[in-house]
Amino acid sequence: MTVKRLLLLPIVVLGAGALGVLVTGKRATAPTSGARVAAETKTVRIPIQGMSCAVCAVNVKNALRSVEGVQEAEVDLERREGRVRYDASKVSLEQLVAAINQLGYKAGTPVPEGAR
Amino acid sequence: MTLDAFLERFASSLPQGSVWALLVAMVAGVVASGVCPCTVPVGLGVAGVVSGSAGKNRRGAFLIAVAFFAGIVANLTILGSLAGRLGAMLTESFGRYWALSMALVSFIAGIAAFWGPRLSTERLISLRGAGLAGTFLYGFVFSLGTSAAPLLLLVTVAAAQARAEYGFLLAVTFGIGRGLPFLLAGLFAALLMRFARLSSWAGAIRVASGCALMFVSFYYMRAFAALL
């Protein structure tokens, strides 16, 4: 019985160690993956000329949201600008600007949020 | 051309307070109507209201067209004196209720356009006052949602001239320009009804008018749903 326990002990210790490596390995890779996602998700503010009412704001918002890679889009009629959160690995700023210009409005140079 | 580009081009003349500046403000109103996506559907709606309400009196149809125009000008006159608070009319929540109001007003006008021809001439004459007031309100509500942003831009560009009465005057002339395309659409519809009344087209035009107003109602209901 005692011999069996002695034999089992290293197995348990090795097993626990392997589990620990797996868990810490996952922990070690998780922040790397998160950092990658954070690095690719960007938020910009785009000045928009030519909007005159709530329908214009809806049109711009829908156009931006329909672009693949856009996670969130809001339009502020008073400031005449759009705020877009997007995945930079899937969509470029040029595509966002083009989506607005295609509607007949005029998009200005996008400014990264917090850059002002 | 956007309204912003137009104002940038004439920005130097606006703060001067001259007759030329007022003319620029009026043309800016026309440009604002030209670039606004609501102009075509609501223009159709105004034509629908005019042809739907046109009784046997052709003056009545012209007055209906003028009432919508007056609603826009009156609204901009008030907005001009509230220049500092225009931002409150540009929030998403305000836009939501404005779109809903436009959908409801257009729907009611559409029902009236379908219902109008079934009423007797005496009944139509007795309802003319209500029709004029309703059309004025339609123009007022429409302008409330579509004119605050362009007016804010105009007032900002002209801000160097810090006289309240000048801002007010700019708003009125801008309102005249803003309402002009709708006045023309209404007057054209009134003229069309004058000739159509003599022909078998009258019924078809009235049905088309009702349908145009239902389309406007749907247009704003869709905008309301998108803002929810």
Among B4, B91, B145, whose Cβ lies nearest the Cβ of A53?
B145
In chain A, which residues have their Cβ closer than 8 Å to the Cβ of B147? Answer: 52
Contact call for B99 and A54, based on CB within 8 A: yes
Band of pLDDT at residue B196, cut at 50, 70 and 90: low
Task: ipTM value, please give it.
Answer: 0.74
Exposure on the CB side of residue A88, measured as CA atoms within 13 A = 10
Q: What is the C-alpha to C-alpha distance for residues A18 and A9, in angstroms, rounded to an integer? A: 14
pLDDT winner (highest mean) among A80-89, B83-92, B129-138, B190-199: A80-89
What is the per-residue pLDDT for B53?
A: 67
pLDDT tens figures, B66-92: 888 898 888 888 887 776 667 777 788
Contacts of A98 (CB under 8 A, 6+ apart): none
Residues constituting chain A: 116
Q: Which residues of A48-67 are buried (b: 16+ CB within 10 A; e: fewer)?
A: bbbbbbbbbbbbbbebbeeb
Inter-chain touch B37–A51, beta carbons under 8 Å: no
B145, A106: Cβ pair inside 8 Å? no
Q: Which residues contact B16 (CB under 8 A, 6 or more apart)?
A: B161
Find, in chain B, the residue whose alpha carbon is nearest to that of A105. B2
CA dihedral over B128, B180, B79, B221, signed as positive or negative: positive
Give domain status of residue A16, yes or no.
Answer: no
Query: How many angstroms separate the CA of residue A25 from the nearest CA in chain B?
Result: 44
User: Which amino acid, residue B12?
Assistant: S
Does the residue A106 lie in any domain?
yes
Mean confidence (pLDDT) of chain B = 79
Encode pLDDT of B150-171 as tens digits. Answer: 888 887 776 655 566 777 788 8
Cα B178 to Cα B66: distance, rounded to the nearest angstrom: 13
Would residue A57 count as lying in a domain? yes
Whole-number Å distance between alpha carbons of A88 and A70: 9
Task: Tell me the residue range of the domain where A90 lies.
Answer: 41-112
Q: Which residues of A touch B (CB under 8 A)?
A: 49-59, 61-62, 77-78, 80, 104-106
Interface test with B, best of A48, A55, A78, A79 (most B CBs within 10 A): A55
pTM of the model: 0.73
Q: Are B179 and B66 within 8 A, CB to CB?
A: no
Distance from the Cα of B105 to chain A's closest Cα (Å) equals 16
**Alpha-carbon distance A108 to A105, whole Å?**
10
Residue B84 has a pLDDT of 63
What are the residue ranges spanned by the domains of chain B?
36-145+179-227
Contacts for B131 with CB less than 8 Å, ≥ 6 apart: B53, B60, B64, B112
Rounded CA gap, B116 and B124, in Å? 7
- H or E, element range at B128: helix B128-146
Inside any domain, residue A87: yes
What is the pLDDT, as a whole number, of residue A14? 42
Q: Is B8 left (phi over 0), alpha (psi -120 to 50) or beta?
A: alpha
- Nearest-Cα distance to chain B for A56, in Å, is 7
Q: How far is B21 from chain A (nearest CA, A)?
A: 21
Other residues' Cβ atoms within 10 Å of the Cβ of residue A21: 11
CB contact set of B158 (below 8 Å; sequence gap of 6+)? B14, B15, B21, B25, B166, B167, B170
Residue B197, pLDDT score: 60
Residues of B with CB under 8 A from a CB of A: 2-5, 32, 35-38, 87, 90-92, 94-96, 98-99, 145-147, 149-150, 152-153, 219-220, 223, 226-227
pLDDT in 10s for each residue of chain A, 116 residues: 454 554 454 444 445 444 444 444 444 444 445 555 556 889 999 999 888 888 888 999 999 999 999 999 999 888 889 999 999 899 999 999 999 999 888 899 999 986 65
Which CATH number characterizes residue A63's domain?
Answer: 3.30.70.100
Task: Tell me if B89 sits within 8 A of B145, measured CB to CB.
Answer: yes
Number of structural domains found in chain A: 1
Give the pair of three-digit tokens for residue B33.
Answer: 């109507």
- Which chain A residues touch B142 with a CB distance below 8 Å? none
| % pLDDT > 70, chain B | 80
- Whether residue B115 is predicted with pLDDT greater than 70 in this model: the reply is yes
Of A49, A51, A52, which to mutate for an interface test with B (greatest number of B Cβ within 10 Å)?
A52
Q: Determine whether the interchain pair B226/A62 forms a contact, defined as Cβ–Cβ distance below 8 Å.
A: yes
pLDDT confidence band for B122 (50 / 70 / 90) = low
